[in-house]
Amino acid sequence: MSAANRGVVYKGPGEVAVESIAYPELALGNRKCEHGVILKVVTTNICGSDQHMVRGRTTAPSGLVLGHEITGVVVECGRDVEFLTPGDLVSVPFNIACGRCRNCKSGQTGICLNVNPARPGAAYGYVDMGGWVGGQTEYVMVPYADFNLLKFPDADQAMEKIKDLTLLSDIFPTGFHGCVTAGVGPGSTVYIAGAGPVGLAAAVSAQLLGAACVIVGDMIEERLAQARSFGCETIDLTQDGDMADKIEVILGEREVDAFVDCVGFEAHACGCNHGKEAPATVLNSAMSLTRAGGQIGIPGLYVTEDPGAADEAAKQGSLSMRFGLGWAKSHSFHTGQCPVMKYHRPLMQAILFGKVNIADAVNVQMITLDEAPKGYADFDGGAAKKFVIDPHGSVAA
């Protein structure tokens, strides 16, 4: 089977375009990919991680087809696919995992050893993540399909909640993972750094895990208002003042039980210096504001190479952290890609049974494929929205 295909292509810093691209094949290099499937993409989301590349803050090459948050319908299966059939509606974890290596077998699917020759771990349409074609497209190939894909039990029911379920490919599990690794549980007090889509997903996840109080900090009022819309306390980081004082006003205490960094390496200084990049500022705040013995989850992206960094050390991913403070307070730090498969099925159940309204929390905005360049621009401007592309008009229909 072959057909036309279009996708969102990175052209260079600040520029993406929707272009005709090759229709996917069940192939890996020169060999047949019998364990793969081809999907007709139903929804595919713009992620903050994509923005790092589009801003020119990574070594992403021009011509890269973007997109790692994919939900689709199976249209073709390789010979070795046993448990999926054409017509199945599935969620695609952004991690590509073989299911066979030591890490996959232990549930660490974010650092599969067999899908990226350069380093452990791979993702669709992302720099240094194995060269896999992205899914901000009309059609995409997914390898190791029986292992990777989450089939929705009832396609019609799933389409009714597709704006929520599309977030299972990345940001909902990622936010949830950040909270789990920060030790969030019933009665916890939690600080979420960043009110972008992952930060808002983490805030909802903290509530789902039973947190007593969730505080979200950001520099964009529209995003803070979005956090308040579902019951979070907020802190405007453009305002001067000591962060511990601000925490104390809310909690009556100067520290939180759990801290989740949903900002990453493009962090900016707070207060009067908020226009200045300070890539370690969130990590240092985490150590200052988390109680002794507390945990710090770091789903925010940090990179090994940042050509746009303000200083030479940061260009190599070297940050000036006050690590001795974290050691003195016996903090636990957890970094790295979320292993999506660890969480996506239970989070699917939470959505289907009405326990969480994640699409409302992150303010999903549906757009067409041709509107993707504008979606990137609006998102880069700080819009308090999660842009979800509907390439075939399936959701609109």
SS3 assignment for 232-285? CEEEECCCCCCHHHHHHHHHCCCCEEEEEECCCCCCECCHHHCCCECCCHHHHH
What local confidence, expressed as pLDDT, does residue 272 receive? 59
Q: Does the pLDDT of residue 239 top 70, yes or no?
A: yes
pLDDT value for 276: 81
- Residue ending a domain, choose from 291, 314, 334: 334
* Residue 52 is assigned to a structural domain of this protein: yes
pLDDT above 90 for 310: no
In a domain, 302, yes or no: yes
313 shares its domain with 350: no
What would the pLDDT profile of 174-206 be if each residue is shown by its tens digit?
999 999 999 999 999 999 999 999 999 999 999
Give the whole-angstrom CA distance, residue 41 versus residue 135: 8
114/255 same-domain check:
no
What confidence tens digit (pLDDT) does each residue in 256-295 have? 999 999 999 888 877 756 778 888 999 999 999 999 999 9
Same domain (yes/no): 251, 160 = no
Checking if the pLDDT of 1 tops 70, the result is no
Whether residue 281 is found in the same domain as residue 361: no
| DSSP-derived pairing of the beta strands 290-297 and 256-261 | parallel
Tell me which residue range forms the domain holding 196.
171-334
Instruction: Give the whole-angstrom CA distance, residue 290 versus residue 183.
Output: 11
Q: What percent of the chain is modeled with pLDDT above 90?
A: 88
Average pLDDT over residues 152-164: 97
Confidence category of residue 2, pLDDT binned at 50, 70, 90: low
pLDDT band at 27 (very low <50, low <70, confident <90, very high): very high
Domain end marker among 314, 334, 354: 334
- Please report the pLDDT score of residue 267 as a whole number: 86
Residues 313 and 343 in one domain: no
In this prediction, residue 304 carries a pLDDT of 84
C-alpha distances in Å from residue 113, one per residue of 107, 121, 335, 343: 12, 7, 18, 20
Q: Are residues 142 and 222 in the same domain?
A: no
DSSP, collapsed to helix, strand or coil, labels residue 112 as coil
224: domain CATH number is 3.40.50.720
User: pLDDT tens for residues 60-84?
Assistant: 999 999 999 999 999 999 999 999 9
Would you state the pLDDT for residue 191?
Answer: 98
In a domain, 396, yes or no: no
User: Is 207 part of any domain?
Assistant: yes
The verdict on 243 and 286 lying in the same domain is yes
305 found inside a domain:
yes
CA distances from 39 to 109, 246, 272, 275 (A): 21, 48, 48, 42
Whole-number pLDDT of residue 19: 98
Q: What pLDDT, on a 0 to 100 scale, did the predictor assign at position 51?
A: 92
**Residue 315's pLDDT is what?**
86
Q: Within a domain: residue 1? A: no
CATH number at residue 110: 3.90.180.10
Give the pLDDT confidence of 329-361 residue by residue, as tens digits: 999 999 999 999 999 999 999 999 999 999 999
Q: Are residues 301 and 368 in the same domain?
A: no
Q: What is the pTM of this model?
A: 0.96
Residue 80: count of CB within 10 angstroms of its CB: 13
Across 294-323, average pLDDT: 89
238 and 275 inside one domain: yes
Task: Based on the fold, state whether residues 198 and 328 are members of the same structural domain.
Answer: yes
Q: Is residue 394 part of a domain?
A: no
Same domain (yes/no): 300, 195: yes
Give CA–CA dist 83/312, Å, rounded: 50
Mean of pLDDT values over 112-122: 96
Query: How many structural domains compose the chain?
Result: 2
For residues 159 and 30, membership in a common domain is answered with yes
Q: Does a structural domain hold residue 113?
A: yes
